[in-house]
Structure 1
Amino acid sequence: MDVVLHIGAHRTATTTFQAYLAENRVALARKGITVWGPKQTRDGLLTGVIPVDSPRPPQEQLDRARARVAINIARERRAGAKVLVISDENMIGAPRRCLRQGRLYSDIGQRMARFAHALDGQVTRAYLSIRSHESFWASVLSYGVARGHRVPDTATLEALAASPRLWRDVVLDVACALPGVKLTVMPYEIFGGLPERMLEHMTGLGPMPRAHAREWMNQAPNLPQLRRIVKDRGGAPAGLPEGPGKWQPFDDTALRDMREAYADDLYWLRAGAEGLAQLTEETGPVKTGTTPRPDQRKRGQDDGIENRRLA
């Protein structure tokens, strides 16, 4: 049984993908695909992988989580599953933490190393979705303001636009935390509205169900909604422009710089990502058996991870 991790990132249609998996659970089971989405992972299954406030020390929490996960994976294997897909973007952290730090998932390496330990080397493939920086941060900010964060000032926006941490750094941290696991990067701009194509790439089991594949979930609020939300909680919608549509808080200079940064990310990925990850931009059907095994990863992956650790 292959164990596949889908780890986000946030605001890249992860909720849409998870809703698609949940709605098609029966059809997927007939193909030998079992899914652990947030309903499973956040209901005690992974508790303790990231330490919580508890009388038990962190290492004991992690060890208990590891045993719990092993029991459940063994049960899925005995039931005859071919692929277990584990999808939970909160494994890599929270977008509100990204906002507070002004950086992309600064502790993703430590977090994923703990999940790798809890999964006891059973993960065969991992998938990370990325999104253009200006689009990602605009969506995170919109969602954050709707959930109670203040409207960001100019200094905050300038700091986000100039953040030195790019998706390349996120990919390097994940690859270092998951040695021996085939890491694939899927751009939101291509796969955000194609959950069935994402699943085809993840499983290698051919065409997936189209039912519920175009139901868009958890969209960021638009400008009229944001102005109303801020006004309803007693604030002044300063910093939120008038008019309809999505909120784009960054000015033209920031937009240019952030788009160039994303282009650099994609260029690095297309060039091979130092053998640590593979960029997937092809949306065509995936034939059974075409998903490479972990032992077929690109030459140099182990050396690249070791160099990253030494650095």
Structure 2
Amino acid sequence: MKVILHTGAHRCATTSFQEYMRQNVHGLNRQGIGFWGPYRTRKGLFHGIQPGPAQVTGRDLVQRAQGRLRIRMTGCRERGIKQLLVSEENMIGAVRQNLRLGDLYGGVGERMARYAQAFGGAVSDVALSIRSLDSYWTSGLAFAVARGHKMPTAASLDRLAYSARSWRGVITDIAAAMPDVNLHVLPFETFGTRPEAALTALTGIKAPHAHARVRLNASLCLQDLRASLPPAAAAELPEGTGRWRPFSDAQTAALREAYADDIMWLAGGADGLAALAQDPDKQAAGTNPPRKDLTRGRPDDKQRRMAGSG
């Protein structure tokens, strides 16, 4: 059985993808596709994989987690599941930690190495969704502030905007932690609103279109964000409506440039570490692509009226 870990990232339409999978789970089971999402993983399935408080029972929590996973995977195989997709964005870390440290999933390598051990070498593929860093951090800030996180300072925004770490570092860390798996990178700009395309890219099946346009957990716009905060915090937000834009033009440009470099690196092969997922709905041009007639200026054979020499 092929095991695919879909690791998010956060704020990349991961919750919407998980809802799409849940709504279509019975039809997907008939195609041999199994799904584990947060409703399952956060009810004890992953307990013990990551370090926690010191245990007092004498039980090996890591060994127990491995046993739980093997039992569940065996059950999936017996039900005829050929590809098991496990979607849990908290495998790679948390947005709050990213904002607190001003870093992009700094401990992702160690975390993913523990999941690789817990699954006992059964993982064949890992999928990571990424998005432009300016919109990722903006969405993360809006999500955190709406839940009580303090407003970002000028220094913290500078730290995020000019950080040396980008998605390339995250991808490199995952590849180093799980060198024997296929790492797929799905840009949010291509797959964020099309979970069926993401599923096809990862599994190769003809994914259902039902429930593919559900949007969950979207960032609040300025007016809604202002209404959700205490008056003192709301007063720190800018006036107006629409999307909150905490970064300056220069900071936004730096973040977009870093993301463009990441995409160029991925398109160039990512040093053999990862593959940039291709849109399954786009057909590549053949050996002889169609030629379109383009005309520049006046046709050469058109007669022109010359002024007299007078």
Secondary structure of 1:236's partner?
Answer: helix
The question of 1:169 aligning with 2:172 is answered no
Residue 11 (structure 1) shift: 0.2
1:150 matched to 2:146? The reply is no
- Cross-structure match for 1:307: none
Which of these residues, 234, 249, 259, is aligned with residue 252 of structure 1?
A: 249
Give the SS at the match of 1:242: coil
Give CA-to-partner distance per residue, 1:150-197, whole Å, 9 cap, x none: 111111111110111110000000001111100010000110000001
Q: Structure 1 pair 200/242, CA: closer, same or farther in 2 (3 Å)? A: same
Q: Determine which structure has more spread, i.e. the larger CA radius of gyration.
A: 2
Identity of aligned residues (%): 47
Higher helix share: 1
Q: Which residue of 2 aligns with 1:228?
A: 227
> Does the 8 Å CA contact 1:197/1:285 hold for their aligned counterparts?
no
Post-superposition Cα deviations, 1:83-141, rounded to whole Å, max 9, x if no partner, equal 11000000001100000010100000000000000001101111000010100000000
Two-structure CA RMSD over aligned residues (Å): 1.6
Q: Which TM-score applies when normalising by structure 2?
A: 0.88
1:4-47 per-position Cα deviation (integer Å, ceiling 9, x unaligned): 11001000000000000001111111111110000111111111
| Residue 276 (structure 2) aligns with | 279
- Asked if 2 retains the 8 angstrom alpha-carbon contact of 1:152 and 1:239, the reply is no
Aligned match of 2:20: 20
The number of residue pairs the alignment matches comes to 283
The 1:58–1:259 alpha-carbon spacing in structure 2 relative to 1, beyond 3 Å, is farther
Q: 1:29 — aligned with what?
A: 29
| Deviation larger for 175-184 or 52-61 | 52-61
The CA distance in 1 between the partners of 2:59 and 2:157, in whole Å, is 38
Would the alpha carbon gap of residues 260 and 57 (structure 1) be closer, same or farther in structure 2, given more than 3 Å must change?
A: farther
Contact 2:200 2:280 in 1 (8 A): no
* Structure 1 match to 2:79: 79
Stretches of structure 2 that go unaligned for 5 or more consecutive residues are 284-310
> Residues 80 and 121 (structure 1 numbering): CA distance in 2 closer, same or farther, change over 3 Å?
same
SS at match of 1:190: helix
1:92, 1:45 → 2: CA distance? 16
Residue identity in the other structure for 1:240: L
User: Aligned with 1:208: secondary structure?
Assistant: coil
CA distance in 2, matches of 1:58, 1:217: 41
SS in 1 for 2:243: coil
Over 3 Å counting, the alpha-carbon distance change for 1:166 and 1:67 in structure 2 is: same
Secondary structure of 1:124's match?
Answer: strand
Aligned AA (1:101): L
